[in-house]
Chain A
């Protein structure tokens, strides 16, 4: 990559200040570094991947409102987590978290247990309950 080929595409990020350092070759064939504003293929992959997460999250949110599943599954998707991460933050086993995906199991959880999810997802208890019309 030559210095003048370092991509300067609009990354369409929420924070515009981020510029990345790239290594590139100058006219004499010597390596130097240059800041890059963004590169379209990379931005496309990033945005498409976030879009996929948000789409899936919206499906789960609707299901949670219908009380088909618990809000835990929705929030896990929304916060870009996986089972392992949720288990680590809450202190539950992975299989317990999976059980809590069921609306019936979730709605019977004690308050301290629900609080663990509140802390993990940065929500109040009312907000958490509100996500499934409890």
Chain B
């Protein structure tokens, strides 16, 4: 079995799988478009919910949401299925491959052999495309990788049935029906509106409010929990911000690329300027990560560094607030 599938590397797995699957079905879809229409830009800070013994900070919506919103907004029907046993899951996969149909799979990264050791944590919401099978195993197009990889039957079974939070249970999905016409303009507008609403939501912990709360807590941490723990929290924060597919600075740049691509489609030239603005904000996020990493590396003894970092986050939050208000007005 060999399906002519074009592997294209992307910045984030979820955008990547869906844009590659759609591209295969002759729907022109770039990663930034998929990201923007699916409203992939997000921020949430959950101080009471610990991941790796540090508060959870996420720069993306729940896994699967970008995908769901994108396909819904384009009117594409998706078939999704989870399985009780590995043999059922394998049978269903082989069936699709024999019909020349590449499929998306949700997998855990801990046992992915081609991932570097350092990236293998128990994160179960990674996405890959399987598009063929030969004597060595399944052909895997992982959108975060430069090249195509091969996984043996055993290896694929392990990652498809990884356990713990977000356990994939063999989750497999693929587009089944497409509408006659795809109305990109409408979908883009919906995507942007959704993102603005999320980021400006008046509820605490989400969007701009979440960033402000995080800044406030960064000021308190050194006194409240001690420097050692504060540094651990900051370290985890930088990891979540910059690790593959989790967002932060990188997500602002994808969003900038999206606005630039969307401007002529929805006939709003003012989006070009907004794209420049979010690019600058993305640069500021990167500086923020850099400053945070200096703090946890030098094991700073004074509180001043932490206050400066919090000030910087406050400034970013303020800039994003203005940005998203302008964006909301522009469309």
Assuming the A-B contacts A18-B145, A21-B10, A31-B32, are A1 and B253 also in contact, with contact meaning beta carbons closer than 8 angstroms in the complex?
yes
Residues of A within 8 A of B117 (CB): 13-15
Residue of A17, A25, A44, A46 touching B297 (CB-CB under 8 A): A44
Q: How far is the CA of A24 from the CA of B116 in the complex (A)?
A: 25
B293 touches A31 (CB 8 A): no
A13 touches B116 (CB 8 A): yes
Q: How far is the CA of A85 from the CA of B124 in the complex (A)?
A: 11
B257 touches A85 (CB 8 A): no
The interface stretch among A34-42, A61-69, A100-108 is: A34-42
Main secondary structure of the interface of B (DSSP, over half): helix
A112 at the interface (CB under 8 A from B): no
Assuming the A-B contacts A1-B286, A42-B243, are A85 and B163 also in contact, with contact meaning beta carbons closer than 8 angstroms in the complex?
yes
How many whole Å from B27's CB to the nearest CB in chain A? 20
The interface stretch among B188-196, B200-208, B275-283, B309-317 is: B275-283
List which B278-330 residues lie within 8 A (CB) of chain A: 279, 282-283, 286, 289-290, 292-294, 296-297
Chain B 130-151: CB-based contact to A (< 8 A → 1; otherwise 0): 0000000000000011100000
B38 at the interface (CB under 8 A from A): no
B256 touches A14 (CB 8 A): no
Residues of B within 8 A of A13 (CB): 116-119
Chain A 80-91: CB-based contact to B (< 8 A → 1; otherwise 0): 111011001100
Chain A, interface size category, equals 35 or more
Q: How far is the CA of A15 from the CA of B261 in the complex (A)?
A: 34
Residue of A1, A14, A23, A85 touching B116 (CB-CB under 8 A): A14
Main secondary structure of the interface of A (DSSP, over half): mixed
Which residues from chain B sit less than 8 Å from chain A, CB to CB?
9-11, 32, 52, 110, 114-122, 144-146, 163-165, 167, 232, 235-236, 238-239, 242-244, 249-250, 253-254, 256-257, 260-261, 275-276, 279, 282-283, 286, 289-290, 292-294, 296-297
Given contacts A13-B119, A14-B118, 13 further A-B contacts (CB under 8 A): A1-B249, A1-B283, A22-B11, A25-B279, A31-B32, A31-B275, A33-B257, A42-B243, A42-B289, A46-B239, A52-B235, A85-B164, A88-B163
Assuming the A-B contacts A88-B163, A88-B164, are A23 and B293 also in contact, with contact meaning beta carbons closer than 8 angstroms in the complex?
no
Chain A 4-37: CB-based contact to B (< 8 A → 1; otherwise 0): 0000000001110111111111000111010100
